[in-house]
Structure 1
Amino acid sequence: MQITLMKSKIHRVKVTQAELNYVGSITIDEDLMDAVGIIENEQVHVVNNNNGERLVTYAIKGARGTGIICLNGAAARKAQVGDVVIIIAYGSMSQEESKSFQPQVVFPDDANRIVH
């Protein structure tokens, strides 16, 4: 049997942009994506701490070191610039694999940069 577990989480980043007139997705600083193993076009869930909205979309790379978190297309209606969101990706694995699996999680600072 396969089960679904959290594999990646970017915990509490601030939305820096919302672009309604775009095809869709969420743009994420590539440094943040690399830090948690999210790849371009991977499905992600976005949870808005400010208003309780939840959405499913896909990740696209944003410029490294910029801290960009931009909701695009219809997702732009789910958050405002400055809202705090959590970005989560999930993976499927066997129950046996899950026993030793450790998700990758980062806790960025107020500028959406990785704290070491």
Structure 2
Amino acid sequence: MQITIMKSKIHRVKVTQAELNYVGSITIDEDLMDAAGLLENEQVHIVNNNNGERFVTYVIKGERGTGMICLNGAAARRVQIGDIIIIIAYGSMTQEEAKTFKPMVVFPDHNNRLVV
């Protein structure tokens, strides 16, 4: 049997942009993507701490080192610039694999930069 487990999470990043007239997705600074093990076009769940919204979209690679977190298309209506969100990716694995699996969790600073 396969179960769904949290694969990675970027915890509490600030929305820096919201672009309604776009195809749709979330643009994430490539440094954050790498730290969380996220791939371009990977499905992610977004949780908005400010208004309780939860939705699903996919990742677009953003410029490295910028701290960019931009919600695009219809997702832009679910956030305001400055909102704090959590970005979560899930994966499927067996129950045995899940017992030892360790998700990648990233805790950026208040400027969406990696804390070293």
Please classify the TM superposition score into its range, dividing by the shorter chain length. Answer: over 0.9
The structural deviation recorded for 1:97 is 0.5
Q: Secondary structure at the match of 1:67?
A: coil
Aligned structure 1 segments of 4 or more residues deviating by more than 4 angstroms: none
**Equivalences, count:** 116
Q: What per-residue deviation string (whole Å, max 9, x for no partner) do you get for residues 7-66 of structure 1?
A: 000000000000000000000000000001010000000000000001100001000000
Is residue 18 of structure 2 the alignment partner of residue 15 of structure 1?
Answer: no
Match for 2:85: what amino acid?
A: V
Over aligned residues, Cα RMSD in angstroms? Answer: 0.4
Q: Secondary structure at the match of 1:75?
A: helix
Q: Percent identity?
A: 80
Give, in whole Å, the separation in 2 of the partners of 1:76 and 1:109: 23
Which residue in 1 is equivalent to 2:41?
A: 41
Which residue in 1 is equivalent to 2:79?
A: 79
Which residue in 2 is equivalent to 1:54?
A: 54
Q: What are the ranges of 5 or more consecutive residues in structure 2 without an aligned counterpart?
A: none
Q: Secondary structure at the match of 2:32?
A: helix
With the length of structure 1 as denominator, give the TM-score of the two structures.
0.99
With the length of structure 2 as denominator, give the TM-score of the two structures.
0.99
